[in-house]
Amino acid sequence: MKSRTHIAALVCLTAALSRSADAQALYAGIRGSAGIPTGEFSQEATSTGNAALLRGASPGLGYGFDAGLGATLVGFYASYDRIQFDCRSGSCSSSGKYEVAGMSAGARVSIPLLPLLKPWAKAGITYMQMKGSVSGVPVTTEKRPGYEVGAGVDIPILMGFFSLSPQIKLVHQKLEPVIATSSATTGGKRPADFYVFSLGLNVRSPI
């Protein structure tokens, strides 16, 4: 009888610890990313000179880092992204690159459906800057806030201490290009929106 009682107590304790570990955990990871510009940022420039800046961007590659505090339903995250976009020849008469880099932070909501698949959605504030060159002219912007929304899924591997995390997010922001050589602004803020498709590898540490 005592043996059964001990076994029952051990099962309850194990279940409680398991729920506690699943309920809250620190995680950190690295991502490989592909960025796809959208809206005015992706459209060909209809004029030349300063009006063509932050126009005609084409898909590019980059990377990112993630860290956060996960919970059963709601958690918090912080991340860093760096993506380099090309510039189409129609907007950049010779060559051009747009490199976007910056931080983001916000809330992440988990959707517990299946033990081996953990979908989630997130929304947060971004703080990014763009640097690059257009037709040989260095261009930069000040860091400005924006926002992002995204979704993904965590796939636990190696006994749950690691997870693969495919995800997608949309970054919305307005940046004002500045000619780096003269510090002259170029006519106000302009949209620089883009999608990010990523595959990440996270390590989790239950607390």
Question: What tens-digit pLDDT sequence spans the chain (207 residues)?
Answer: 444 444 344 334 334 434 433 445 889 999 999 999 999 888 876 665 555 577 788 899 999 999 998 777 899 999 999 999 987 755 564 456 889 999 999 999 988 777 778 899 999 999 999 887 766 677 788 889 999 999 999 998 888 789 999 999 999 999 888 765 555 555 678 889 999 999 999 998 865
Whole-structure pTM value: 0.79
pLDDT tens-digit readout, 95-130:
568 899 999 999 999 887 777 788 999 999 999 998
DSSP 201: E
**Quick check: is 71 in a domain?**
yes
Q: Is residue 9 part of a domain?
A: no
Domains contained in the chain, number: 1
Could you tell me the CATH number of the domain that includes residue 198?
Answer: 2.40.160.20
5 part of a folded domain: no
Q: Return the residue matching tokens 């040989």.
A: 136
Let me know if residue 13 belongs to a domain.
no
120: nearest Cα among 162, 82, 155, 80: 155
Decide if 85 is inside a domain.
yes
For the purposes of burial, counting CB atoms within 10 Å of the CB of 6, is it exposed (0-12), middle (13-18) or buried (19 or more)?
exposed
Write out the residue range of the structural domain in which residue 57 sits.
24-206
